[in-house]
Amino acid sequence: MRTTLFVALTFTSFVGLWAQDKIQPMDVKPGLWQVTMTTTMAGQVPADLLQKLTPEQRAKFEERMAARSGEPNKPMTYKSCITQEQINKGYSFAEDRHSCTSTVVSSSRSKEDVRLECSENGMKLNGTVHLERIDSEDVKAQLESVGTDGERTIHSNATLAGKWLGSDCGTTK
């Protein structure tokens, strides 16, 4: 009985690892995408976190927060160049976050579920992303995350809508 259980668990582990390596790319077009994201947050931004940011990071952060003050659900729109290589790896529709790692939990030609783990300036964030293909030129996503610095916690939810603009990215990265 123990041997059977051990073999079953070992086989299941190998199948899980094999499946994780077999990301099925979402059936969307590479090129220039416009992404609109609406975020809601609850909690406080730690003061010591702001002090640890570079002047450029802090200015960008404060600009985003100011844009949302009075309109906490105000959409933020940006353009992003999505390559076929990024599509093949999974979860391409987020702003470039060097402090984050993403793990594709499941994927198909029409859906992706991704786990995010970020760590920057003493703040740790864990989140999930559920991305859906509407058609090859439109996607939508739901993001949920919890960030903490050990003392304070911030809960964040976001919706994302992506629209393909064309195959030429121009100077957009």
73-117 pLDDT, tens digit each = 678 899 999 999 989 888 766 555 667 888 899 999 999 999 989
More confident residue, 121 or 162: 162
pTM: 0.68
- Among 96, 108, 94, 107, smallest CA distance to 142 is for 94
Structure tokens at 100: 């984050």
More confident residue, 161 or 94: 161
- Render pLDDT for 16-36 as a digit per residue (tens, 0 to 9): 333 445 789 999 999 999 999
Which residues fall within 8 angstroms of residue 8, CB to CB, at 6 or more apart? none
More confident residue, 131 or 1: 131
Q: What local confidence, expressed as pLDDT, does residue 147 receive?
A: 86
Q: How far apart are CA 130 and CA 140, in angstroms?
A: 8
Reduced to 3 states (helix: H, G, I; strand: E, B; else coil), residue 155 is: strand
The percent of residues above 70 in pLDDT, for the chain, comes to: 71
